[in-house]
């Protein structure tokens, strides 16, 4: 089996590659080749026993998608995107990467004619206010950001290309991934991780919104589990609506901080500094906060047990089990 991860140098892409290298197989089939593609070169996962190719390039460029799928991968994970805050600030760049890149990729697969499993990383940003208290699977998509609009269009493309038999695709709407390792990025949602990650590492973090803000979260470990399950499940059970909201944990920022205190203590929580940011507050106000992801749960997708577990996963996976 040949696997391609687009966005293979990103956080989820790296962790997915590590999981696949460890497992050595998908759906009981040995992985013979793993290709990691991104704008910067990725890294060969530790212990990888299959052939690993590292490719770099500009996804929307002419001919790039055809080059990427030249060896006809059996499974494609499409994780690459311009994140929410940057897509909102740079309209042209967001549409070029998030929409044009995805369309070019689907077109390349269509003309190659081999119908791979296609797992697209979408987002809960496809939904827009006003929201009910809990968003169910029948709630309509009315995104209020450019990023959400781009993801919504791509979901429709994945469903249509699947309906026509060009790919066997599924879009999974990821919760906000928390706690993200590494450095802060330009995502408007980045502070949800920042106020956990930096204090746990002994550094100050800025909280730009009210503690009453509620949001939907999943750990990186859970996100990788979603990806693997989406790549191996029976999509006939999903039906023609090939987009699913992933299960997560809804907590307020205040509840995040309380969980951090229970796990790591007062000293760590004291490193959070309140500094309101109207730009971030406006974006976050248009986001959904709580879901009833019944379809995904019935289809076997598994969430984190609690927000405390999300914090402990970060401490275990990124900090060697120790807090600064």
Catalytic residues: 147
Spatial neighbors of 5 by CB under 8 A, at least 6 apart, are 13, 16, 17, 34, 35, 36, 37, 77, 79
* Nearest-angstrom CA–CA distance, 162 and 169: 6
Query: Are 14 and 6 in contact, with CB atoms under 8 Å apart?
Result: no
* Nearest-angstrom CA–CA distance, 175 and 198: 21
Using the 8-state DSSP alphabet, how is residue 74 labeled? S
For the record, the structure tokens of 134 come out as: 């809990």
- Please provide the distance, in angstroms rounded to a whole number, between the alpha carbons at the two ends of the chain: 42
For Cα atoms 58, 64, 70, give the angle at the middle one, nearest 5 degrees: 135
Helices and strands, counts by H and E, the chain: 13, 14
* Nearest-angstrom CA–CA distance, 53 and 35: 5
* Nearest-angstrom CA–CA distance, 223 and 193: 15
Give which of 175, 174, 157 is closest to 166, Cα–Cα.
157
Spatial neighbors of 163 by CB under 8 A, at least 6 apart, are 240
* Nearest-angstrom CA–CA distance, 208 and 255: 16
* Nearest-angstrom CA–CA distance, 62 and 77: 20
């Amino acid at each position: 089996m040949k696997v391609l991860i687009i966005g293979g140098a990103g956080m989820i892409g790296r962790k997915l590659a590590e999981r696949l290298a460890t497992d050595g197989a998908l759906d009981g089939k040995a992985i013979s080749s793993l290709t990691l593609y991104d704008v910067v070169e990725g890294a060969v996962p530790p212990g990888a026993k299959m052939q690993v190719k590292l490719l770099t390039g500009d996804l929307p460029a002419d001919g790039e998608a055809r080059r990427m799928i030249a060896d006809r991968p059996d499974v494609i994970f499409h994780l690459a995107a311009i994140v929410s805050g940057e897509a909102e600030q740079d309209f042209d760049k967001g549409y070029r990467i998030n929409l044009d890149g995805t369309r070019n990729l689907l077109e390349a697969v269509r003309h190659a004619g081999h119908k791979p499993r296609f797992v697209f990383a979408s987002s809960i940003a496809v939904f827009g206010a006003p929201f009910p208290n809990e968003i169910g699977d029948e709630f309509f998509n009315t995104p209020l950001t450019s990023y959400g609009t781009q993801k919504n269009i791509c979901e429709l493309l994945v469903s249509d290309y699947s309906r026509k038999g060009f790919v066997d695709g599924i879009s999974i709407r990821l919760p906000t991934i928390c706690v993200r390792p590494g450095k802060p990025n330009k995502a408007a949602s980045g502070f949800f991780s920042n106020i956990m990650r930096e204090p746990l590492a002994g550094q100050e973090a800025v909280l730009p919104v009210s503690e009453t803000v509620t949001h939907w979260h999943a750990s990186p470990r859970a996100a990788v589990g979603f990806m693997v399950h989406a790549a191996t499940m029976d999509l006939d059970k999903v039906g023609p609506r090939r987009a699913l909201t992933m299960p997560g944990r809804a907590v307020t920022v205040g509840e995040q901080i309380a969980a951090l205190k229970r796990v790591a203590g007062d000293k760590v929580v004291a490193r959070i500094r309140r500094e309101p940011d109207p730009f971030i507050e406006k974006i976050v106000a248009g986001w959904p906060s709580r879901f009833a992801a019944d379809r995904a749960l019935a289809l076997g997708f598994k969430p984190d047990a609690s927000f405390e577990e999300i914090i402990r996963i970060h401490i275990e996976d990124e900090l060697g089990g120790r807090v600064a």
